[in-house]
Structure 1
């Protein structure tokens, strides 16, 4: 472990609200060393629009050095085979995250725009639990599977399967939940015995670099096993994706970028694991508790200002109950307090950037021009990059606003005739990440849920997001799963062995 006052570093940067704070020491982690880069780029506090700090701007040279370090660590150290070392190091990382949670919390609020309440859930505390989950899973997960004996060509053969690390992992994450995304990739990859090059999102680099500092200063993870980069240069992601020394790419971000990554990785036929976009639907059946369901639909849509791939941004309602439900949603939106995310009373923070806010507003204005009705919202709120919770009705199910991911606090209402019609509309999407349904008849709700082509589904407000629950999508929402046992197995290869058994075959194979 390198000795450095990480708490002071994290706290100093987290408390800064502007100016040049490069002196606090944000650095890349490459081959066990915290290093600077020749260039740097700014990180902006989205709640104020004020400069928060600078991150080292890694280029292709740094990316190649990180890949080489990860390759060397995988090929020449005991990390891939020493399970006890991996359990111990994951435990150290978990403890370091707990010890520095307060500093990480302030930094996450400042850079990501996450509300304080969210950091006690999916923005920080729940991601920290992922590390503990995989450390514990590794103690019991079977790395071998005995297939018994079988007869072939007059001889008996004993067969078994061993599971081993897939190799060097390039992990590229999005800006919206950087702690969750980093730890949901890093933890199972390390548990499997892989080495990792983690690239933070350009909009939220400081949070991910802080994770690298904790690894360097507070764990015995060997040099090169984890490398952490920040960069504004797309060529860095391309270097990871195309390098023959990288065996696995895991990416969270837009479906458009995921398509490009999959294409670029095909030249080296590497394993690609993608967690992409969503346009999930929440269905209120005609016997639902509309008050409770409307509260779920409204407040989940403004969670992190709508910047969540699994959020239910389409609200499907019975035609006969349309106006009643729209009134309830509008009333709930009116209760949403947006503002300083550090204030415990704030319910909704800002969008990540002016660029993202312009994108959201552009989609809303085009929807209105195309015939949608604006019930509430539809406007920018300054200072910072806030956007008012927005409700649109009379939305064409095939329109841009109903088909494309918005990544903002915008909910569109679509009416349906019956259960079959609701299922048809919900499945009318290239995406298949998540969804929800409400009905007082749980069997009816479950029957509808089973017909929706998505990777996760909430019934009457049930929460499926936890370290032991696999998360991922159908269709163009992604390939593979994060978290749970399935998340570990994304980073494992299976090798089958067979040896002849000398004794004569008797009876059937065991």
Structure 2
């Protein structure tokens, strides 16, 4: 059994009371490691470490912050194989895809925020009142309590700590209770960079634990900001807890992305792009292409082609060949995905999949369901599994109503050759991102975040960086 430990003030430590959690390999369903089940004493220690470091780190020059992040990026790149091994053992993801699709973007994102550290923006200083000069200061907010999810453990850790550190904040980061492995390794990498530059050790801290640990972090008096990527339920709880002492909150929550396919779309291209974007990472992605809306004139041909693509898509172990995705993350998630299929209404039709794969691990077949109606449970609620639903529509007004007719508003896509139509749809779709003739592509320079119950605040981009800063007006008589 491997043992993961908290990282506090530059040292790896066990939980103060010695409690642990079992970490399960989702390809086998068997425990392979333990991690700390951190309590109040552990949260206190991590927050004290971060608060102490912040007193110095807040005054570090942008070039110093950049230097640290660039060193971290280089180290992540150099230790890519170790990170991939840890991530894949903990999540069951295919090794090759994890290295090619995650390490490069992670390194690029860290380097982007290294650059953002030196590009602080604000209004020009000047005389906006007679006899007075005003300037704007952009400052770090303070200690940030951050909670990362289990679907992309190491990449989401980067999305959390990189902008926060770039802005001059100190971090206490908690990985999901099921996926601490790569985050603990990142702590070693980040800690080594901090030590080499002789910076305060408490800039970056990691504590492992469960929902109670996260609650203790958010409710702690030290953090000035709480950031979470997770479910709507978890986001609401964080917002309620943070409201008690008016903490800033950054929420990236669930999604139910509409994928609108018009009659002029190339069916083969659309099916190829949508099937990958729907099944990648076992559909465990808030932006996954899981809710397809197809024009009635091409509906039947599209469903047939999508079902064929699903049947040809493979799920399997870490080192299996030609595998697009691995298992679902945990037994509860397998039960959730299975439950949606078991509760399908009579008018729904399973065109492909709809069942568990094998008896070992948490694998689920690529699934396509047609014949659905707008108020069906599987249309309104996030499945977070390798399940693509298909509805038909007749015109733009109807499809906009269908697309926007859910509580989520994170991502969407439109598939058409008509540029004017694509522009109209991008205006009317009530989602934080609209892709056109593609889906689930991300750039470090562009913001990621939603509306409604998908949360608020942005990840990536200069907007994500600014979320970790505060604005101060300074006025002086002249």
Provide TM-score, normalisation by structure 1. Answer: 0.90
Within the candidate set 422, 427, 439, 1:445 is matched to 422
Match for residue 174 of structure 1?
Answer: 149
Report the more deviating stretch, 27-36 or 182-191: 27-36
Report the more deviating stretch, 128-137 or 309-318: 128-137
1:102 aligns with 2:78: no
Structure 1 residue 144: Cα displacement: 5.3
Map residues 354-369 of structure 1 onto 2, 5 A cutoff: 354-367=331-344, 369=345
Match for residue 195 of structure 1?
Answer: 170
Match for residue 264 of structure 2?
Answer: 287
Larger radius of gyration: 1
- Is the CA contact (8 Å cut-off) linking 2:288 and 2:440 kept in structure 1? no
Match for residue 134 of structure 1?
Answer: 113
- Is the CA contact (8 Å cut-off) linking 2:68 and 2:193 kept in structure 1? no
Match for residue 322 of structure 1?
Answer: 299
Task: Tell me the distance in 1 between the aligned counterparts of 2:352 and 2:11.
Answer: 51
Match for residue 42 of structure 1?
Answer: 22
Structure 1 residue 44: Cα displacement: 1.3
C-alpha distance after superposition, 1:373-423 (max 9, x if no partner):
111111111221100111111111111100100010111111101111111
Structure 1 residue 84: Cα displacement: 2.6
Task: Tell me the distance in 2 between the aligned counterparts of 1:423 and 1:144.
Answer: 37
1:299 aligns with 2:276: yes
Match for residue 181 of structure 2?
Answer: 206
- Is the CA contact (8 Å cut-off) linking 2:157 and 2:183 kept in structure 1? yes
Runs of 5+ in structure 1 lacking a partner?
1-19, 502-510
CA shift in 2, pair 1:191/1:334, >3 Å: same
C-alpha distance after superposition, 1:54-108 (max 9, x if no partner):
2122222101110111112213x24444323211211121111111101111111
Match for residue 228 of structure 2?
Answer: 251
Task: Tell me the distance in 1 between the aligned counterparts of 2:402 and 2:26.
Answer: 35
CA shift in 2, pair 1:235/1:447, >3 Å: same
1:83 aligns with 2:68: no
Aligned-residue Cα RMSD (Å) equals 1.5
Match for residue 372 of structure 1?
Answer: 348
Task: Tell me the distance in 2 between the aligned counterparts of 1:375 and 1:464.
Answer: 27
Task: Tell me the distance in 1 between the aligned counterparts of 2:429 and 2:319.
Answer: 38
DSSP 3-state at the match of 1:380: coil
Structure 1 residue 346: Cα displacement: 1.2
DSSP 3-state at the match of 2:382: coil
Within the candidate set 235, 240, 253, 1:263 is matched to 240
1:401 aligns with 2:381: no
Structure 1 residue 464: Cα displacement: 4.2
Structure 1 residue 371: Cα displacement: 2.9
DSSP 3-state at the match of 1:386: coil
Task: Tell me the distance in 1 between the aligned counterparts of 2:432 and 2:97.
Answer: 23
DSSP 3-state at the match of 1:495: strand
Match for residue 60 of structure 1?
Answer: 40
Task: Tell me the distance in 2 between the aligned counterparts of 1:162 and 1:208.
Answer: 33
- Is the CA contact (8 Å cut-off) linking 2:6 and 2:13 kept in structure 1? yes
Task: Tell me the distance in 2 between the aligned counterparts of 1:158 and 1:110.
Answer: 58
Structure 1 residue 318: Cα displacement: 1.1
- Is the CA contact (8 Å cut-off) linking 2:281 and 2:325 kept in structure 1? yes
DSSP 3-state at the match of 1:256: helix
Map residues 154-165 of structure 1 onto 2, 5 A cutoff: 155-165=130-140
C-alpha distance after superposition, 1:301-326 (max 9, x if no partner):
11000000011211101122211110
Structure 1 residue 45: Cα displacement: 1.4
Match for residue 455 of structure 1?
Answer: 432
Task: Tell me the distance in 1 between the aligned counterparts of 2:220 and 2:376.
Answer: 39
- Is the CA contact (8 Å cut-off) linking 2:116 and 2:465 kept in structure 1? no
- Is the CA contact (8 Å cut-off) linking 2:274 and 2:439 kept in structure 1? no
Structure 1 residue 235: Cα displacement: 2.1
C-alpha distance after superposition, 1:133-179 (max 9, x if no partner):
1112223x03554231133xxx4211110100011100001100011
1:381 aligns with 2:354: no
1:28 aligns with 2:6: yes
Task: Tell me the distance in 2 between the aligned counterparts of 1:478 and 1:370.
Answer: 33
CA shift in 2, pair 1:49/1:160, >3 Å: same
Task: Tell me the distance in 1 between the aligned counterparts of 2:214 and 2:89.
Answer: 25
Task: Tell me the distance in 1 between the aligned counterparts of 2:343 and 2:440.
Answer: 33
